Structure 1
Amino acid sequence: MISIEDCIGLTGLTREEIDAIAEHEHIPESAATALAGYLMTTSEGPAAVRQMIRDDIREALAAGNREHAAELLAALRHFLAEHPVHP
């Protein structure tokens, strides 16, 4: 049987990045994993994931949740390191 960890591994993203997608889209982790798998195969997908994480950071800061914003910022930094923006 395939686990959620196996599914996350197939996306090329981390659990934290998947969790940010789930938070942004208000969907379960399993659905976020499927969405991430799809997005990362499209030319615009990485930009969409970056924007989702940025939006989550803004929401966390607006809610006064600096700790969560810091966690999301770490996820964004990792994402940018693994999926750099190409002009």
Structure 2
Amino acid sequence: MLTWVDCLSLSELTADEIRAIARHEHLSEMAALEMGSWLIEQPDGCRVLKRMILDELENAVARKDLVGAARLKLVMRHFCNTHPENPRKQPVA
């Protein structure tokens, strides 16, 4: 049986990115990992995932969670650096 850590290591996302998805979508971390892994493979998936992380960053700022906001800024920076526009996924014509 695969553990959460096993599944995470097979994905293209970090644990912090998965946690942002989970919080945004009100999912368990395992369900968020599955969703994120699917989204990252979609032509528009990186844009959707960036929006989720940004929404969570804005929510952290709104509730004055400065530590959470700082962490999410780092998550966003890492995501943008590792998944600029997902160039290998081209829209199907």
Q: Output the TM-score relative to the length of structure 2.
A: 0.88
- Residue in structure 1 matched with residue 22 of structure 2 by the alignment: 22
Secondary structure class of the residue paired with 2:24? helix
1:5-84 aligned at under 5 Å gives the runs 5-84=5-84
Q: CA deviation at 1:11?
A: 1.9
Unmatched 5+ stretches in structure 2: 87-93
State the AA in 1 paired with 2:7: C
Q: Root-mean-square deviation (CA), in Å?
A: 1.1
Q: Output the TM-score relative to the length of structure 1.
A: 0.94
Q: Larger % of helix: which?
A: 1
Q: Tell me the alpha carbon deviations over residues 31-65 of structure 1, each in whole angstroms, 9 at most, x when there is no partner.
A: 00010111011001111000000000000000000
The runs of at least 4 aligned residues of structure 1 exceeding 6 Å deviation read none
State the AA in 1 paired with 2:57: I
Q: Percent identity?
A: 37
Instruction: Provide the C-alpha distance between the structure 2 equivalents of 1:85 and 1:33, rounded to a whole number of angstroms.
Output: 19
Aligned residues between the structures:
86
